[in-house]
Structure 1
Amino acid sequence: MNTTRRQVLAGLTLAATLGPSPAGAVPRRLMPKDFLWGSAISAHQSEGNNTNSDSWLLEHLPETVFKEPSGSACDSYNRYAQDFAIARSLGLNCYRFGIEWARIEPEEGRFSQTELDHYVQVLASCRAHGLLPIVTYNHFTVPLWFAQRGGWEAADSPDLFARFCEHATRALGDQIGMASPFNEANIHLLVKVFRMTATPEHRARRVAMIAAAARKTNAPRFSSILFAEPDRIEPNLLAAHAKAYQAIKAGPGDFPVGVTLTTQAVEAVGENSLAPLVEATLYGGWWDAVNQSDFVGVQAYTRIRVDAKGPTGAPAGAEMTAAGYEYYPQALGSVIRLAAAKTRKPIYVTESGIATDDDTRRVAWLNDSVAEVEKCLHEGIDVRSYIYWSLLDNFEWTQGYSQHFGLVAVDRTSFIRTPKPSARHLAGLIRGN
Structure 2
Amino acid sequence: MSQFPDGFLWGAATAPHQVEGGNVNSDMWHAEWAKGSHFAEPSGDACDHYHRYPEDMTLLADLGLNAYRFGVEWSRIEPEEGFFSRAALDHYRRMVGACLERGITPVVTLSHFSTPRWFAAAGGWSNDAAADRFARYAGRVAAHLGDLVPWMSTFNEPNLVSMMVHIGLVPAAARDEPLGRSNSTDPEPARQSDSGAAWPSHSVDVMATAHRKAVEAIKSGPGDPAVGWTLALVDLQPADGGEQRWRAVRQSALLDWLEVSRDDDFVGVQTYTRERIGPDGILPVPEGVATTQTGWEVYPEALGHTVRLAAEHARVPVLVTENGMATADDDARVAYTCAALGGLAGCVADGVDVRGYLHWSLLDNFEWTSGYQMTFGLIAVDRTTFERTVKPSARWLGKVARANGLT
| TM-score, structure 1 normalization | 0.86
Q: Is the 8 A contact 2:179 2:369 kept in 1?
A: no
Q: Is the 8 A contact 2:37 2:195 kept in 1?
A: no
Q: 1:423 is matched with which residue?
A: 394
TM-superposed deviation, 1:284:
5.8
Q: Is the 8 A contact 1:287 1:342 kept in 2?
A: yes
Q: 1:18 is matched with which residue?
A: none
Written as runs of structure 1 = structure 2, the 5 A alignment for 1:24-423 is 28-195=1-168, 206-207=181-182, 224-226=197-199, 230-231=202-203, 234-273=204-243, 274-283=245-254, 285-423=256-394
Q: 2:173 is matched with which residue?
A: none
| Cα offsets for 1:79-135 (capped at 9, x unmatched) | 000111011011111100000000000000010111111111111111111101100
TM-superposed deviation, 1:272:
4.1
**Number of residue equivalences:** 391
| Cα offsets for 1:278-324 (capped at 9, x unmatched) | 11121263223200111011100001100111111112211100111
Distance 1:155 1:34, change over 3 A: same
Identity among equivalent positions (%) equals: 44
Q: Is the 8 A contact 2:20 2:46 kept in 1?
A: yes
Q: Is the 8 A contact 2:42 2:371 kept in 1?
A: yes
Distance 1:160 1:373, change over 3 A: same
Alignment-mate amino acid for residue 181 of structure 2:
R
Q: Secondary structure at the match of 2:146?
A: helix
Alignment-mate amino acid for residue 266 of structure 1:
L
Q: Is the 8 A contact 1:93 1:130 kept in 2?
A: yes
Report the Cα distance in structure 1 between the residues aligned to 2:183 and 2:117, rounded to whole angstroms.
18
Distance 1:151 1:327, change over 3 A: same
Q: Secondary structure at the match of 2:227?
A: coil
Report the Cα distance in structure 2 between the residues aligned to 1:182 and 1:120, rounded to whole angstroms.
19
TM-superposed deviation, 1:259:
1.9
User: Runs of 4 or more off by more than 6 Å in structure 1?
Assistant: 201-205
Q: Secondary structure at the match of 2:43?
A: coil
Report the Cα distance in structure 1 between the residues aligned to 2:213 and 2:52, rounded to whole angstroms.
33
Q: Secondary structure at the match of 1:285?
A: helix
Distance 1:93 1:144, change over 3 A: same
Distance 1:203 1:385, change over 3 A: closer
TM-superposed deviation, 1:430:
1.8
Report the Cα distance in structure 2 between the residues aligned to 1:147 and 1:50, rounded to whole angstroms.
15
Report the Cα distance in structure 2 between the residues aligned to 1:432 and 1:207, rounded to whole angstroms.
47
Q: Is the 8 A contact 1:29 1:429 kept in 2?
A: no
Q: Secondary structure at the match of 2:153?
A: strand
Q: Is the 8 A contact 2:65 2:402 kept in 1?
A: no
Alignment-mate amino acid for residue 207 of structure 1:
S
| Cα offsets for 1:351-387 (capped at 9, x unmatched) | 1010000111001012111111111111111111111
Report the Cα distance in structure 2 between the residues aligned to 1:202 and 1:248, rounded to whole angstroms.
34
**What 5-or-longer segments of structure 1 have no aligned partner?**
1-27, 210-218
Report the Cα distance in structure 2 between the residues aligned to 1:145 and 1:307, rounded to whole angstroms.
41
Report the Cα distance in structure 1 between the residues aligned to 2:270 and 2:137, rounded to whole angstroms.
25
Report the Cα distance in structure 1 between the residues aligned to 2:393 and 2:76, rounded to whole angstroms.
33
Q: Is the 8 A contact 1:59 1:66 kept in 2?
A: yes
Alignment-mate amino acid for residue 249 of structure 1:
K
Bigger helix share: 1
Report the Cα distance in structure 1 between the residues aligned to 2:24 and 2:196, rounded to whole angstroms.
17
Q: Is the 8 A contact 1:393 1:409 kept in 2?
A: yes
TM-superposed deviation, 1:174:
1.1
Alignment-mate amino acid for residue 259 of structure 2:
D
Alignment-mate amino acid for residue 259 of structure 1:
W
| Cα offsets for 1:247-303 (capped at 9, x unmatched) | 011121111001211001000000243211111121263223200111011100001
| Cα offsets for 1:220-260 (capped at 9, x unmatched) | x985344x7624xx432111000000001112111100121
| TM-score, structure 2 normalization | 0.92
Distance 1:203 1:409, change over 3 A: closer
Report the Cα distance in structure 1 between the residues aligned to 2:166 and 2:286, rounded to whole angstroms.
19
Distance 1:223 1:67, change over 3 A: closer
**What 5-or-longer segments of structure 2 have no aligned partner?**
171-175, 185-191
Larger radius of gyration between Structure 1 and Structure 2:
1
Q: Is the 8 A contact 2:47 2:386 kept in 1?
A: yes
Distance 1:204 1:391, change over 3 A: closer
Report the Cα distance in structure 2 between the residues aligned to 1:393 and 1:154, rounded to whole angstroms.
34
Report the Cα distance in structure 1 between the residues aligned to 2:242 and 2:137, rounded to whole angstroms.
46
Report the Cα distance in structure 2 between the residues aligned to 1:275 and 1:289, rounded to whole angstroms.
20
